[in-house]
Amino acid sequence: MKRRSIIAATAVGAISALLISACSSSSSSSGSSTTPTTGAVAFNAGISNVVNPSSTKGGTLTFDVRGTPDSFDPGNTYYAWVLDFDHLFTMPLFGYKSCPGSCGEQLVPDLATSMGTTSDNGLTYTVNIQPDVKFENGTVVTSQDVKYAIERTYDRSVMANGPTYYQALLTDPTYPGPYKDRSKNLMGLTAIDTPNATTLVFHLQSAFPDLPYVLAFPNTAPVLPSADTGSNYQLHPLSTGPYMFKSYALNKQLVMVDNPNWNPATDPNAKQLATQIIVNMNVNQADIDNNLIAGNADIDAYGAGVGPAAQARILGSSSLKADADNPINGFGRFVYINTKVAPLTNLHCREAVEFAANKTTMQTAWGGPVAGGEIASTIDPPNIVGYKSFDYYNALSQPAGDITAAKQQLALCGQPNGFTTNMAYRSDNPQETAEATALQASLGAVGIKLTLKGFPSGPYYTNFAGDPAYVHAHDIGLAGGGWGADWPDGYGFLDELLNGNAIAATGNTNISEINDPVINNLFAQSSKVSGATRTAIWSQIDEAAMKDAVILPAVYQKVLLYRNPAVTNVYVQSYYGMYNYAVMGVSS
Amino acid sequence: MIYFIIRRLIMTVFLLLLVSLITFAIFFLVPRLAGQTTYQLAAQYVGRNPIPSEIKAVEVKLGLNAPLYLQYGRYIKGIVAGIHYNNGPDVSYCPFPCFGYSFRNQQPVWPQLISDAPVTLSIAAGAAVLWLIGGVSIGVLSALRRGSFFDRLSMGVALAGVSLPVFFTGLIALELFSYKWPIFPNVHYVGITTDPLLWARNLVLPWITLAFLYAALYARLTRAGMLETMGEDYIRTARAKGLAERKVVVKHGLRAALTPIVTIFGLDLGLLLGGAILTETTFSFPGLGQFTILAIQNQDLPEIMGVVMIASFFVVIANMIVDILYAVVDPRVRF
């Protein structure tokens, strides 16, 4: 739902922003489960099989990562790779089943004993936690520790990075957090009750069927109040997972070792195979790729794929290619079309943009079919529950652009010779820059003159593309961007993009500023139904938004991941669209 | 001499204050003049979809809502006397010299600078030794064998060295000597106290890469200086007096030619100590250069301020040392 726009831009360029969710090419429901299989080492073997299965203990597993984490504090992170990585030292209430293929989209209990129960017309949600899980210091985890972990996310002056669902979903939205409210033994949040040491009762403002997905974020991993050091907690979060921090030089290197108080029986979604884990941070992409191929590093933790030089090298060598995977990672790249900036206030003008855009050159801008992704004709990527394939603007049948249809729409829009508008894009993102240039060329063919306005990634969503006042004042009709769901269903992907309620004065995520009563009503309905009826709503919203022509889809993003042949138990976890870091080992 | 040094030290402090004022104005005043509000600035550091009260809370926590002169005063006070900052459950103290509190990392800036400085120091010091010895030696030999094959070859290589950027030579060096022929495999920074041998081994390529650039420059400068000096009358006189050629070259020729080299060396080393940005980025060494890049990418103003102040400090100190050395060589500049 909320943007996982992981900022992470490196000076060298490469793919910016975050990665999230799933990779499977199927549109299976989250409830489905396929049997994990093991297979030979081969290209794409890690998408649906466990590569190099092993239960051998030993060795050092080395991760390299470009950039730095937003935070290793489980309550203060939104970066996709950190969400994946956190499972090595945390146990949230729920998690995604550790298995390859669509099986990995299935939500399962982690610290919790079951998926919980809903009562009171969906306004109360009760979940129990395992009674025998311990922190690394031997203290038994209680429900109060989970409540405290959630409480601390309310203080945005300290926990600025993580998601903010609790304030929006739970009662007591103005709770200031335990740092400001020291009353009631730090248990001041009235929206969560802890009647005993293993039970949590959540009180919701209104029914929200996706709450278990929210509780799968690492911010539900327990935090012992006496061990909470606030902004310094990121330097040594108290582990409940298989590994614990041995040393962490902020933004440089993390070393983790076995957590002696971790019990594998309580945490089936993680393994403790390597004896040591090292994360080298701020390594440039070329170095990472060379280190992986040379065997100096095991996995690129960022999960956004290898750089251009390594892509050519890997795809050109059958032996290297056998150690690579090319999954769809659940991230959509597209261009927002603003419905409040003239002449794009007119539906036909927006449709002209949809038809005229050359999707092939946009795909090339994002890196081509392997490193960029598949040409998209919908907003939802294929691995989102509720995805339905359709192609209203001939993106798949005429990927170079449907000039005839575009000109017809221009005529209907009253601008037969085209019009002028501005496009915002992140100028420090080479792919998005190339996309803007490609779009400028293809729209120019039908007389739509695009003036490109580049902005830095950092304040892009706060001060420029995500600031409606700025957008209106500067006639920014189009804006480049991307999106990944916080969880793999239609609500998780579409709500922040298309719900009229999501329009905000700053950090706006509904950049098209679409406030369509039909779509808003569909979102409202979705919280009252479940199962297939609910799933069907997601495709209805996607279709309605595409008929409104408020988003120009570019690609369903794919990445080329490389796994060091020494890594064992390696596969792509569908939800993250990157390797599952919690189960890996390494052969000596 | 002592008064001269005291005067220079006082001037150094004023210069650093001026640098801090200008830097502060660039990063805090200019955005305001361009129309950016402190509210918008705070919005960058409060994650996705913040509500206004959250942004206000961050604005207050980072002190952005205070008048600029107060913010500057607080900044200087932090450097001189340290600051207290709210880390959530407690208030922590960042002692002298505290360069503020990182907006992004939610950590004081100074400890981060200190932890990065040894990396940059390791790169700069080793490379400086290499380029000084290599550059000056080649320059002297080239001057003494002017027009020879060695002179032409070394100056040709020097021209290439000056022309090729570090990120190019560094990548070539890595590709050849780390990956193709793994003489220096898995190059990454290791602390000298952790493993001195590995520290040195992993620094060889960054040293050579950086030294190649500077040695080329110094070779050309030394050659030009030596050619000029060796043509002076006093050199002819020294030779006429029957001094050994080695003494003529080293004691009379090189000594005079080195004066401008020492000046430039001081400045170059000072600049590098503030962050060997390209070298650190190419080899992924977590020094002040990488810190600078990250700070700029994250628009983390206190970190940017901190790294600018550190870099300025090194340059100013290097300048001061050069001035003092000049005063030793030529007492007239003391007055």
CA dist., res. A587 & res. B252, Å (int): 64
Helix (H, G, I), strand (E, B) or coil at A72: coil
| pLDDT confidence of residue B49 | 66
In the block, residue with structure tokens 């795809």: A315
The residue type at B65:
N
CB contact under 8 A, A462 and B115: no
Over residues B51-75, mean pLDDT: 84
The Cα of A400 is separated from the nearest Cα of chain B by a number of Å equal to 35
Chain A positions in Cβ-Cβ contact with residue B188 (cut-off 8 Å): 280, 283
CB contact under 8 A, B286 and A251: yes
CA dist., res. B240 & res. B251, Å (int): 15
Give the mean pLDDT of chain B.
Answer: 87
pLDDT of A390 higher than 80: yes
CA dist., res. B284 & res. A15, Å (int): 18
CB contact under 8 A, B48 and A3: yes
The Cα of B328 is separated from the nearest Cα of chain A by a number of Å equal to 43
Are the CB atoms for A211 and A158 separated by under 8 Å?
no
Q: For residue A298, what are its two tokens? A: 């095991």
Percent of chain B at pLDDT exceeding 90: 34
Phi, psi of A200 (to 5 degrees): -125, 135
Report the chain A residue with the minimal C-alpha distance to residue B62: A157
Packing angle, helices B109-144 and B301-329, rounded to 10:
40
Packing angle, helices B68-81 and B2-24, rounded to 10:
140
pLDDT of A6 higher than 80: no
Summarised one tens digit per residue, pLDDT across range A194-242 is: 999 999 999 999 999 999 999 999 999 999 999 999 999 999 999 999 9
Question: DSSP character for B333?
Answer: G
**pTM confidence score:** 0.86
| pLDDT confidence of residue B87 | 82
CB contact under 8 A, A296 and B186: yes
CB contact under 8 A, B43 and A234: no
The Cα of A282 is separated from the nearest Cα of chain B by a number of Å equal to 7
Q: For residue B198, what are its two tokens? A: 């590995």
- Going by C-alpha positions, the residue among A173, A252, A243 that lies closest to residue A205 is A173
In the block, residue with structure tokens 């060091």: A564
Phi-psi region of A307 (alpha: psi -120 to 50; beta: other; left: phi over 0): beta
Are the CB atoms for A218 and A77 separated by under 8 Å?
yes
CA dist., res. B87 & res. A175, Å (int): 19
Residue A73 makes CB contacts below 8 A (sequence gap 6+) with A159, A233, A234, A237
| Chain B interface mutation, best of A64, A457, A462, highest count of B Cβ atoms under 10 Å | A462
Phi, psi of A155 (to 5 degrees): -90, 90
Instruction: For chains A and B, count residue pairs whose Cβ atoms are closer than 8 Å.
Output: 145
Distances (CA, A) of A560 to A23, A65, A237, A284: 12, 15, 32, 17
Phi, psi of A517 (to 5 degrees): -55, -35
Phi, psi of A422 (to 5 degrees): -110, 150
Distances (CA, A) of B203 to A245, A289, B119, B335: 28, 20, 10, 43
Q: For residue A116, what are its two tokens? A: 């919980």
pLDDT of A494 higher than 60: yes
- Going by C-alpha positions, the residue among A357, A294, A305, A366 that lies closest to residue A332 is A366
| Chain B interface mutation, best of A70, A82, A157, A501, highest count of B Cβ atoms under 10 Å | A157
Q: B93 has which bridge partners?
A: B84
Give the start-end residues of each E strand in A446-548: 449-455, 476-484
CB contact under 8 A, A157 and B178: no
CB contact under 8 A, B92 and A10: no
pLDDT of A353 higher than 80: yes
CA dist., res. B322 & res. B328, Å (int): 10
Confidence of residue B330 (pLDDT cuts 50, 70, 90): low
CA dist., res. A157 & res. A223, Å (int): 18
Chain B positions in Cβ-Cβ contact with residue A509 (cut-off 8 Å): 48-49
Residue of B57, B87, B178 lying closest to A232 (CB–CB): B87
CA dist., res. A136 & res. A225, Å (int): 14
Within A49-117, residue ranges assigned H as helices are 80-85
CA dist., res. A294 & res. A310, Å (int): 12
CB contact under 8 A, B115 and A284: no
Give the CA dihedral B51, B57, B61, B66, nearest 10 degrees. 110
The residue type at B260:
P
Packing angle, helices B109-144 and B196-229, rounded to 10:
40
Report the chain A residue with the minimal C-alpha distance to residue B101: A231
Within A257-396, residue ranges assigned H as helices are 285-294, 308-315, 318-321, 347-356, 359-365, 368-371
Q: For residue A139, what are its two tokens? A: 């203290």
CA dist., res. B298 & res. B284, Å (int): 18
Q: For residue A97, what are its two tokens? A: 């089943």
Question: Higher model confidence: residue B330 or residue A106?
Answer: A106
Peptide bond into A343 cis (omega under 30): yes
Over residues A397-413, mean pLDDT: 96
Residue of A2, A152, A286 lying closest to B48 (CB–CB): A2
The residue type at A331:
F
CA dist., res. A380 & res. A388, Å (int): 8
CB contact under 8 A, B286 and A78: no
Are the CB atoms for A319 and A37 separated by under 8 Å?
no
Summarised one tens digit per residue, pLDDT across range A109-165 is: 999 999 999 999 899 999 999 999 999 999 999 999 999 999 999 998 888 888 889
Give the mean pLDDT of chain A.
Answer: 90
Are the CB atoms for A446 and A352 separated by under 8 Å?
yes
Peptide bond into B97 cis (omega under 30): yes
CA dist., res. A358 & res. A406, Å (int): 11
- Going by C-alpha positions, the residue among A325, A344, A371 that lies closest to residue A512 is A344
Element (H, E) at B79: helix B68-81
Are the CB atoms for A8 and A318 separated by under 8 Å?
no
Summarised one tens digit per residue, pLDDT across range B185-201 is: 989 999 999 999 999 99
The residue type at A374:
E
Chain A positions in Cβ-Cβ contact with residue B277 (cut-off 8 Å): none
Phi-psi region of B92 (alpha: psi -120 to 50; beta: other; left: phi over 0): beta
Over residues A331-339, mean pLDDT: 96
Confidence of residue A279 (pLDDT cuts 50, 70, 90): very high
Chain A positions in Cβ-Cβ contact with residue B87 (cut-off 8 Å): 158, 229-232
CA dist., res. A105 & res. A435, Å (int): 30
Percent of chain A at pLDDT exceeding 90: 78
Summarised one tens digit per residue, pLDDT across range A37-78 is: 455 789 999 999 999 999 999 999 999 999 899 999 999 999
Element (H, E) at B265: helix B255-273
Q: Please state which of the ranges A32-41, A219-228, A382-391 shows the lowest mean pLDDT.
A: A32-41
* Other beta carbons within 10 Å of A121: 10
Question: DSSP character for A577?
Answer: T
Give the DSSP letter string of B221-259: HHHHHHHHHTTSHHHHHHHHTT--HHHIIIIIIIHHHHH
Over residues B11-23, mean pLDDT: 88
Chain A positions in Cβ-Cβ contact with residue B182 (cut-off 8 Å): 294
